[in-house]
Amino acid sequence: MFRRALEEKELELRLKSLEDLQRRILACSLCPRLREFDVKVGLNPPRRFRGQAYWSRPVPSLGDPLAPIVIVGMAPAPHGGNRTGRMFTGDQSGNNFFRALYEVGLANKPVSVSRDDGLRVCNVYITAVLHCAPPNNRPLPQEVASCSRYLEEEVRLLPNARVFVALGRLAFDVLTRILGVRCEFRHGLECGLPDGRWLIASYHPSPRNVNTGTLTIEGLRRVFERAKELAGVSGGCQ
């Protein structure tokens, strides 16, 4: 009973630390170039988004901190997450991503439009290497180093993480460093960790990758199906 009480206390402390981490992310100003860019984008939106109030702040992580599957992207998109304030929301990358999640039962909707659209994810925690949108999708090395410290904390604190899915080479490279493994990036690669956990590599669900056939929704769906298998997840998102 004493051991169980200690385990419950440890879990409580981890979840509290994750909540505190998200507050620190929201208040972060480590990368002035990114903060300036994200605000500027919101003040000068394309015609289709004129009149909308942009989030223009660091975008927090999304999902269940007790989930066994952790999905890591590169960064919010200027007119996606930076506009809506939620990861993979409001752009075509997000639609590609959530369509695949929905088809394998890890989300309750196939599209992600806004923070109040009723979308839920199940058995999944979604984060990114960077929480601010970089110009031209090209963060500087120092920006990656500064922001990935948050990802490193998340990896350490998430209590039930058994499978990590890296969307794109940057996410993969940062995760291999954090997890302390050596694997070469290849779509569908499954890299076993010494502690029994797994890292799966995937191309990013960007419109460019999908439109050129580099990645298909079916291919992304298979990655998520395999993540469910390795994590021991069954059933769908009700």
Quick one: which H or E segment has residue 6?
A: helix 2-26
Give the other-Cβ count within 10 Å of 112's Cβ: 28
In a domain, 236, yes or no: no
> pLDDT tens, 28-50?
999 999 999 999 999 999 999 99
In a domain, 34, yes or no: yes
In a domain, 202, yes or no: yes
* pLDDT score of 1: 43
> pLDDT tens, 64-120?
999 999 999 999 999 999 999 999 999 999 999 999 999 999 999 999 999 999 999
* pLDDT score of 4: 55
Quick one: which H or E segment has residue 192?
A: strand 190-192
CATH of the domain at 211: 3.40.470.10
- Residue 113, burial from CB neighbour count under 10 angstroms (0-12, 13-18, 19+): middle
CA distance 124 to 84: 20
pTM of the model: 0.95
| Number of domains comprising the chain | 1
CA distance from start to end of the chain: 34
pLDDT of 5 strictly over 60 = no
* pLDDT score of 180: 95
The model's confidence at residue 7, banded by pLDDT at 50, 70 and 90, is confident
> pLDDT tens, 180-194?
999 999 999 999 999
- Residue 173's domain comprises 2-231
In a domain, 238, yes or no: no
Where does 43-94 show beta strands of DSSP type E? 62-63, 69-73
In a domain, 237, yes or no: no
Mean pLDDT, the chain, integer = 95
> pLDDT tens, 124-149?
999 999 999 999 999 999 999 999 99
- Which of 107, 66, 70, 99 lies closest to 237 in space, CA to CA? 107
pLDDT of 172 strictly over 80 = yes
